[in-house]
A and B are shown apart, each in its own frame.
Chain A
Amino acid sequence: MAELTYRAAVARGIAQEMDRDERVLLIGEDVAGAGGVFKTTPGLLERFGPRRVIDTPIAEQAILGAAMGAAMTGLRPIAEIMFADFFAVTWDIVVNQIAKTRYMTNGQVTLPLVIKTGNGGNLRFGAQHSQSIENWAMAVPGLKVVTPSTPRDVVGLMAAAVRSDDPVLFFEHKGMYASKADVPDGEIVDALGTSVIRRPGTDATVLALGLMVPRALEAAEMLASEGIDLEVIDVRSLVPLDTRTILESVSRTGRLFTVEENPQLLGWGAELVAIASDEVFWDLDAPPVRITTPHVPLPSAAALEDSVIPGVERIVQTIRKRLV
């Protein structure tokens, strides 16, 4: 067991898989020599060599095209898109090519590839470098979508993503790169489609993802001192989705809150609320509540960014108001 930063866990997870399987390679801008702009891939070039850890031109379509072509022909690439916002530049390859090819070819072509990216806000980078885009990806049939919230999960979910025979979009929360936690030694492998109950509780279920998980947990501790006992679930994987754990919890607590960094319209919380309303409506004691970013691009100034991304205070107040 050693304490590891979230960013170091990314490199560890990739190294674990590259060690295990020589078909795994890493490709992206500045990932090799520089070790990644967020220092998520240092040491990999030295360890695995330039044939498997590849610096590319600034050509997002070319990067993902290369990953796709390599995945079609027997390799298991991990491609990096530096900032999640830049997915917009690659949206054809992601949505029309990577996501649809298995289906269109009637199962002839399988695409075992991972696209990792720095997602989310909290670093004051402004609207073009801060967005959370899991909801874009979630809307497209054919893509798997995961967002780890702890260094341990970074390793375990990266392993699961690399071992998946389907394309996985791996959203690292860039606001969490510096966070630290203990990570067990040895190989860690998670399963996609598994959420984790981070804090068991009885009064309400709180669903969160990425940076919103520690905030929801902090809010739960504050409310616990007021006698409110929240169950906090780290959703981790939006596609596939662990509805079993989530709905079982909602049925038990009778109340549902979602905390997400996406803008409010069509965020993943809306989908989870819809599923709960569909399937466990009679177990609900109150309407579910979504805590989200308002429908705005992310502003840069600290005060503004903090005012729009759900913070502990807003989570506490919203839940308190609804429960008391």
Chain B
Amino acid sequence: MSWPLQTHPYGEHAPVLPPMENRDFDHAALDRSTRLGLYRRLQELRQLEKRAYDLFMRNLVKGTSHLSLGMEAISAGFGAAMRPDDYTFATYRGHAHTLSRGVPMAPVLAELMGRANGLLGGKGGSMHLTSVEHGVLGSYAIIGAHLVIANGAALSAQLRGSGQVTVCFFGDGTTNIGAFHEALNFAAVYSLPVVFVCENNHYMEYTPIGDITAVPRPAADRAAAYGLASRTVDGNDVDAVHLAAQELLAQARAGEGPSLIEAVTYRHGGHSRADPGKYRPDKEVRAWLDYDPITLYRGRLGRLGVPAAELDAIDREVAAAVDEATEIARNGAEPDIASALTDVWADGGSSWRN
């Protein structure tokens, strides 16, 4: 498979994408219901984030938000490969990672809208989605911080002998921060059950990663320096990601230590709410919009004999679920002001004196 995108420092980016008719994974060992589950998940992530965008535009979601439209195959592929008690560490671009662990849509939307029935009662917001119950141990808005924290969860699982694996998602830009390097060495030294997943969407905020990074694969090219096995995967092909995830999770669970995977992908929109993403060449954006993970997957499912009507039905079911979640979120009460002063401490309060 050719790399989905070749970048040249300080020059034009030349998308060299695999053909839409990429049949590499048509005959992978995945049954029909797994594939339909993956398809449904892709739709959920896509439709919920589109809804989040609409709500933004209608000023019902405030603050900022970072969407992963176009990148859904990575979290969907991993989420479906994880055990319910495994741990996810996500970034501020974490809606998809959170939903992929089975967190319901309504509390996520309600959190974005700052409602009392939000996942965090309105105290977290878009960038901090957390659901301990689903193994989502947080979304972190400081670049790189969560890689070292993910190690701690993995260390704890190892010491407790629980067999849990920690999956830690981060962006290509994150690979240039110190904590990335501390985290990889640390994970390798103690042979921790952690899988680092770099979602290489080719940009940090506004700067192409290729312009400011000395190696072509910012994560995968560096992993070996720390003693980690690494690989690169087509991050728009949900089957490819899912199969890789199954393998890496199994290795970690079997005590074979940490690994790193670089999933190559692209975000359809800008970095955050306010960003139209105009710094990207039209040709590049167009090529990637065509190479959409959902279009790609529908093509494969069609070749495998799944009727389009069946997929359309899934799309409609998801749309209804997103509508319903939106209503629940919109009807949520404003948070009780008193809750601003709770839960600094384990006793539930914020008092610092007697």
| Residues in A lying within 8 Å of B, measured CB to CB | 25, 51-52, 54, 56-57, 59, 61-62, 64-75, 77, 92-93, 96-97, 101-110, 112, 141-142, 164-166, 193, 239-244
Which of B124, B148, B182 is A104 in contact with, Cβ under 8 Å? B124
A93–B151 CA distance with the chains assembled, in angstroms: 13
Which of A66, A92, A164, A239 is B145 in contact with, Cβ under 8 Å? A92
A109–B257 CA distance with the chains assembled, in angstroms: 26
- B20 CB to closest chain A CB (Å) equals 40
Chain B, range 112-163, C-beta contacts under 8 Å to A: 120-121, 123-124, 128, 130-132, 137-138, 140, 142, 145-157, 159-160
Interface centre among B149, B344, B351 (most CB of A within 10 A): B149
Which of A96, A165, A242 is B354 in contact with, Cβ under 8 Å? A242
Contacts of A57 in B (CB 8 A): 182, 185-186, 189
Contacts of B157 in A (CB 8 A): 73
B342 in the interface, Cβ–Cβ < 8 Å?
Answer: yes
Q: Are A165 and B346 in contact (CB under 8 A)?
A: yes
Q: Chain B: which residue is nearest A102 at the CB level? A: B343
Contacts of B155 in A (CB 8 A): 66, 69-70
Contacts of A166 in B (CB 8 A): 345-346
Contacts of A241 in B (CB 8 A): 352-354
Contacts of B294 in A (CB 8 A): none
A69-B156, A73-B160, A107-B348 known; 18 new pairs, CB 8 Å cut-off, are: A57-B186, A59-B186, A61-B148, A65-B152, A69-B149, A70-B155, A72-B149, A73-B157, A75-B159, A92-B142, A93-B148, A96-B142, A96-B145, A108-B130, A108-B132, A142-B345, A240-B351, A241-B353
A109–B124 CA distance with the chains assembled, in angstroms: 12
Q: Are B121 and A106 in contact (CB under 8 A)?
A: yes
Q: Are A72 and B137 in contact (CB under 8 A)?
A: yes
Contacts of B148 in A (CB 8 A): 59, 61-62, 64-66, 69, 93
Q: Are A102 and B354 in contact (CB under 8 A)?
A: no
Which of A73, A92, A141, A243 is B350 in contact with, Cβ under 8 Å? A141
Which of A25, A69, A97 is B154 in contact with, Cβ under 8 Å? A69
Contacts of B159 in A (CB 8 A): 25, 51-52, 70, 75
B87 in the interface, Cβ–Cβ < 8 Å?
Answer: yes
Contacts of B353 in A (CB 8 A): 193, 240-243
Contacts of A110 in B (CB 8 A): 346
The 3 A-B residue pairs with the shortest CB-CB distance, nearest first, are A69-B152, A65-B148, A165-B346
- B134 CB to closest chain A CB (Å) equals 11
Contacts of A65 in B (CB 8 A): 145-152, 179, 182-183
Interface centre among A25, A69, A106 (most CB of B within 10 A): A69
Q: With A110-B346, A241-B352 known to touch, is A105 a contact of B152 (CB < 8 Å)? A: no
Chain B, range 28-72, C-beta contacts under 8 Å to A: none
Contacts of B352 in A (CB 8 A): 141, 239-241
Chain B, range 320-352, C-beta contacts under 8 Å to A: 339, 342-346, 348, 350-352
B19 in the interface, Cβ–Cβ < 8 Å?
Answer: no
Q: Chain B: which residue is nearest A195 at the CB level? A: B354
Q: Chain B: which residue is nearest A141 at the CB level? A: B344
A244–B148 CA distance with the chains assembled, in angstroms: 40
Q: Are A106 and B120 in contact (CB under 8 A)?
A: yes
- A71 CB to closest chain B CB (Å) equals 7
- B98 CB to closest chain A CB (Å) equals 12
- A194 CB to closest chain B CB (Å) equals 9
Q: With A73-B152, A106-B120 known to touch, is A97 a contact of B183 (CB < 8 Å)? A: no
Which of A51, A66, A107, A164 is B152 in contact with, Cβ under 8 Å? A66
B178 in the interface, Cβ–Cβ < 8 Å?
Answer: yes
Contacts of B185 in A (CB 8 A): 57, 59, 62
Pairs across A and B, CB under 8 Å, 16 listed = A54-B190, A57-B182, A65-B148, A66-B149, A69-B148, A70-B156, A73-B152, A73-B156, A103-B344, A104-B123, A105-B120, A105-B132, A109-B132, A141-B352, A142-B344, A243-B353
Contacts of A52 in B (CB 8 A): 159
- A30 CB to closest chain B CB (Å) equals 15
Contacts of B160 in A (CB 8 A): 73-75
Q: Chain A: which residue is nearest B153 at the CB level? A: A69
Q: Chain A: which residue is nearest B123 at the CB level? A: A106
A51–B191 CA distance with the chains assembled, in angstroms: 13
Contacts of B344 in A (CB 8 A): 102-103, 141-142
Q: Are B343 and A62 in contact (CB under 8 A)?
A: no
Q: Are B342 and A107 in contact (CB under 8 A)?
A: yes
A141–B351 CA distance with the chains assembled, in angstroms: 10
Contacts of B179 in A (CB 8 A): 61-62, 65, 92
Contacts of B350 in A (CB 8 A): 141
- A18 CB to closest chain B CB (Å) equals 13
A12–B190 CA distance with the chains assembled, in angstroms: 27
Q: Are A62 and B182 in contact (CB under 8 A)?
A: yes
Q: Chain B: which residue is nearest A98 at the CB level? A: B149
Q: Are A108 and B131 in contact (CB under 8 A)?
A: yes
- B61 CB to closest chain A CB (Å) equals 18
A135–B76 CA distance with the chains assembled, in angstroms: 45
Q: Are A105 and B354 in contact (CB under 8 A)?
A: no
A77–B200 CA distance with the chains assembled, in angstroms: 34
Q: Chain B: which residue is nearest A194 at the CB level? A: B354
Q: With A106-B121, A240-B354 known to touch, is A73 a contact of B346 (CB < 8 Å)? A: no
Contacts of B178 in A (CB 8 A): 61
Contacts of B343 in A (CB 8 A): 102-103, 106-107
Contact with A along B161-188 (1 / 0, CB 8 A): 0000010000000000011001101100
- A279 CB to closest chain B CB (Å) equals 10
Contacts of B154 in A (CB 8 A): 69
Contacts of A71 in B (CB 8 A): 152
Contacts of A104 in B (CB 8 A): 120, 123-124, 128, 130
A56–B182 CA distance with the chains assembled, in angstroms: 11
Q: Are B186 and A193 in contact (CB under 8 A)?
A: no
- A98 CB to closest chain B CB (Å) equals 9
Contacts of B137 in A (CB 8 A): 69, 72-73, 109
A244–B130 CA distance with the chains assembled, in angstroms: 37
Q: With A69-B154, A70-B156 known to touch, is A59 a contact of B182 (CB < 8 Å)? A: yes
